[in-house]
Amino acid sequence: MRRAVRSGHPCNQATYVTAWQFTPLLLALCSCPSLMRKKTWREKLADSKDLSKVVPLRGKAALKWGKGTLAIPAPLEVDALMRSVPIRRVITIDLMRSSIARRHSATVGCPLTTGIFAWLAAHAAEEAAAEGKKRITPYWRTLKSGGELNPKYPGGIKAQKVRLEAEGHKVTQKGKRYVVADYEKVLFHPSS
């Protein structure tokens, strides 16, 4: 079976191939490196996707939080909040959400995007560190609710634990979870 293959990219031209040749040919057809290159973590962090914005609470969100509005932050806004946490202090995703809601005059900050963008900022920071940058986002100071360490950060719980202990925090294990002991005493409260 022969069929014409044409991708939407201008550097590709129609070529007749058999079905078993189709997949490898698609990979080889485009000599355009921008289509083949994966975005870096810092490029993903800088992509605002038309955020931040405030939307009305609807559906399940309205049932959970009541009437009001939901602030959806931009990735760099979450990164800036994480950068503002001083040494020997910590912040939780919940505190970040409250700060984002206040900043946008909304009822609540989005838990999903705030968590995703914190994870993205952590990976972007590690990427920068791997390239020799000294001043990176101190993502290890951002905890999950209840002072819990985040296993999805680069290096997992072990790496976050080492960094927090180097700053003088005591990390304890509660069941399967790891938490910063007495984290409430060292919580950083953003000004807005």
Residues 178, 175: Cα–Cα separation, whole Å: 8
pLDDT at 37: 81
pLDDT at 35: 58
pLDDT at 36: 66
pLDDT at 192: 61
Whether 84 and 190 have beta carbons less than 8 Å apart is answered as yes
Residues 48, 45: Cα–Cα separation, whole Å: 7
pLDDT at 145: 94
Residues of the chain with pLDDT under 50: 2, 5-23, 25-29
pLDDT at 9: 44
Helices (H), 48-176: 59-65, 75-83, 93-103, 111-130, 156-166
Plot region of 135 (φ>0 → left; ψ -120 to 50 → alpha; else → beta)? beta
Alpha carbon separation from 172 to 88, 127, 157, 182, 183 (Å, rounded)? 16, 28, 12, 10, 11
CA-closest candidate to residue 138, choices 106, 160, 116:
160
pTM exceeding 0.75: yes
pLDDT at 63: 87
The correct CATH number of 41-186 out of 3.40.50.300, 1.10.1520.10, 1.10.10.10, 3.40.50.10490 is 1.10.10.10
**Residue ranges per structural domain of the chain:** 2-36, 41-186
Q: Is 18 exposed, middle or buried (0-12, 13-18, 19+ CB in 10 A)?
A: exposed
Tokens describing residue 111: 């838990």
